[in-house]
Amino acid sequence: MNIIRFIPIIFLAFLFSKCTNYKEAEDFVLQFDLYSKSNDSIHIYYVETDSLDFSEKKSIWKKIDGKNSNQMVEIIFPKDVNPKQFRVDFGHNPSLQEIVINKINFKLNKNEIELKGKEIYHFFRPDDSNTILEKDSGILKRKFENQKAVFSIYPKGNKLQKKIEEIYLKR
């Protein structure tokens, strides 16, 4: 008689644990290991097609707290979003003059791809109209000291798309 009471509890515990794991397993996650002294926001634009037409409709904002040390910033895409490429805008706070991206990770399920240091700029390029990349240090900064425009990195051709496809193929 006692075992009959526990069967529904065991079933519910199993059901809830599977739902939680399923949700975590389907999220595309983008992580930045970066250095930023000032509070700011990262604006991620993404596309799910072969086009590079970035729009506000397909974008995600994430706040960054300024620190005097490296920090990990994580962006979790909605479950039904499968980005192929993305662009990243920094410097929404005019007092943020520079940022260093040490590492970028892409995660889906238990699969992960990591881009570190100079390798990042094999897949991304700075927006030359408003951004300077100091290649030796990895510092991204405003092209002009008083510019209001953000500084950005864009995909470099289809290299990023091919790299992201690797993570989908491992699913």
pLDDT by residue, tens only, the chain of 171 residues: 555 655 555 554 544 444 433 344 478 999 999 999 999 999 999 999 999 999 999 999 999 999 999 999 999 999 889 999 999 999 898 888 899 999 999 999 889 999 999 999 999 999 999 999 998 888 999 998 788 889 899 999 999 999 999 998 887
Secondary structure of 85-126 in HEC code, one letter for each residue: EEEEEECCCCCCCEEEEEEEEEEECCEEEEEEHHHHHHHEEE
Q: What is the pTM of this model?
A: 0.80
Please report where in the chains the tokens 């510019």 appear, as a residue: 147
pLDDT at 53: 94
Distance of alpha carbon 153 from alpha carbon 133, whole angstroms: 9
